[in-house]
Amino acid sequence: MSAWSVRPLRHLMVATALGLTAGVFLAVWLVGLGLGRRAEEQQGALTSSLQLNADLESQRLQAALQEQQRGLDRMLSALLDATARAAPADAPLAAPKKVCDTIELAAGVVRAGVVDLAEATVVALVEPGEKGCVDRWWALQVQALSGPPYPAPVDIARQAQAAMYGMGHVVDGQTVVTGVHRSGIGVHVRLARASAGRAAFVDVKLADLPPPPAVSGVRLDSYLTVGGVAVGYIHGGPGVGMVPAAVKRIKKREELVNQLPVVVEAAASRAVLAWEFPEHFDDGDLALAAREVPLESQLPHPLGLSVVSSAPWPSATADLRWRLLVLVLAAAGMQLILVVLLTRRLSRALSNTANQVRVAWMPALEGEPEPTDDERAARLLAAMSEGTRDTLGAAYGKDARHWSGGPLQRLLDLLHSRLGPRG
């Protein structure tokens, strides 16, 4: 027999389960109530600290970009020098040297090359490979002259299109940003420099810049904007694998184009979304600060650098502790009241039975006459029979199947007649 069979205990267990569920929901509500909201606070120490972090990171990135640009100036000049003189028209194929033999690709470079601005043709195109620098344009020329299989026209067009990107904004004798594009969530920047009718360019992956110093509890998201629109991250973001995984899921079923907004949202950090679109994505549970500085104004749309510093908004811990303490004490008090109310009848029946058995069983008190054994047995039988009947009624209810006046009552009458009158 389990406790569930006893009616008061069954009611107690049900009431305890309901009370526990309500207590959990109430505790969660109190915790949510204790969480502060940025909209309820003024400019405080936390926001000021985040603003300082954003300012320092912005200055560090600007210095790193300037240092990187100085190094790329030398590489662009070397590219122009390496392709300044064309090979004679009647020179054998082995006479021209590959560009990779004269230059070394800097760290973070994903593509570099030279374009003839007057004829709008590609002169050189190099990319990093597994074993170092790879001269893509020289390889296509060799493949075209050495016999089948010849290079596909689409390969030549793709390389030429990649080389001509942004050449309309190049400046003679000066290294400037001529284009920005995104690969995954990371941003790539194209720097170009023109001289003597030719332009050398280099594409740089800014994610290879030194990462920001780690600050416990603070997140830094740095990204570039073109005309005020975010184009890609330098550091931070939602994670490298999120966007490709979402795109793969959509490609499996092309009809799920309604998931494209989900992909766009996955391509942004939650802190950046809260800063850029506060009316849609700001839940008020993040402390935010940002720094926005211009980088390049030569493009039709100005290029800017943005750094968003964020941290979880701290909870009102002092008030929250007291509220949870009051909740625990109230739950304990309600549990005691439930136990007392739901088991009072069963407790009273057990207590009365125990007292009557004690009076009938124990010796008489001083000054009282000592009952005979027959009288003591009659009292004990009466106490046990009445107490058992009350206990069964309190535990299972007044049902005839638990206590009936038939055979049991005849058995009791027989015992009482054998023991004599009840005393």
Q: What is the DSSP string of 67-120?
A: HHHHHHHHHHHHHHHHTSSPPPTT--TTSSPPGGGT--PPTTEEEEEEEETTTT
- Spatial separation of the C-alpha atoms in residues 31 and 44, rounded to whole Å: 22
- Spatial separation of the C-alpha atoms in residues 239 and 419, rounded to whole Å: 89
- Spatial separation of the C-alpha atoms in residues 80 and 357, rounded to whole Å: 113
Indicate the length of the chain as a whole number: 423
Categorise residue 239: left if φ over 0, alpha if ψ from -120 to 50, beta otherwise. left
Q: Where are the domains of the chain?
A: 36-314, 343-423
CB 3 within 8 A of CB 12: no
Cα 181 → chain centroid: 27
Question: Between the CA of residue 71 and those of 66, 82, 105, 146, 375, what are the distances in Å?
Answer: 9, 17, 11, 37, 115
Residue range 54-81, pLDDT digits in tens: 999 999 999 999 898 888 888 888 888 8
What is the residue-level pLDDT of the chain in tens, covering all 423 positions?
455 655 666 677 778 778 777 877 777 676 666 555 444 444 567 788 888 999 999 999 999 998 988 888 888 888 888 776 555 555 444 445 678 878 888 888 989 988 888 888 888 888 888 888 888 888 887 777 777 777 788 888 888 888 888 888 888 888 888 889 888 788 999 999 988 888 999 999 998 888 888 887 788 999 999 888 888 899 988 755 555 655 665 566 555 445 545 554 545 678 888 888 888 887 777 888 899 999 876 777 889 999 999 887 765 555 666 777 777 788 877 877 777 777 777 777 777 777 777 767 676 666 667 777 777 777 777 777 777 777 776 666 665 555 556 666 676 677 667 665 544
Which of 174, 191, 198, 206 has its CA nearest to residue 307?
206
Strand partners, 127: 134
320 token code pair: 């929250």
Q: What is the DSSP string of 252-267?
A: HSTT-GGGHHHHHHHT
- Spatial separation of the C-alpha atoms in residues 121 and 119, rounded to whole Å: 5
Question: Between the CA of residue 121 and those of 39, 153, 295, what are the distances in Å?
Answer: 56, 15, 29
- Spatial separation of the C-alpha atoms in residues 123 and 200, rounded to whole Å: 9
Residue range 209-265, pLDDT digits in tens: 888 888 877 889 999 998 888 888 999 887 555 556 556 655 665 554 455 455 545
Question: Between the CA of residue 252 and those of 184, 213, 296, what are the distances in Å?
Answer: 19, 40, 40
Spatial neighbors of 423 by CB under 8 A, at least 6 apart, are 371, 375, 378, 379
Phi then psi for residue 66, to 5 deg, are -65, -40
- Name the strand (E) or helix (H) holding 204: strand 198-205
- Spatial separation of the C-alpha atoms in residues 387 and 154, rounded to whole Å: 100
Which of 172, 75, 84 has its CA nearest to residue 123?
84
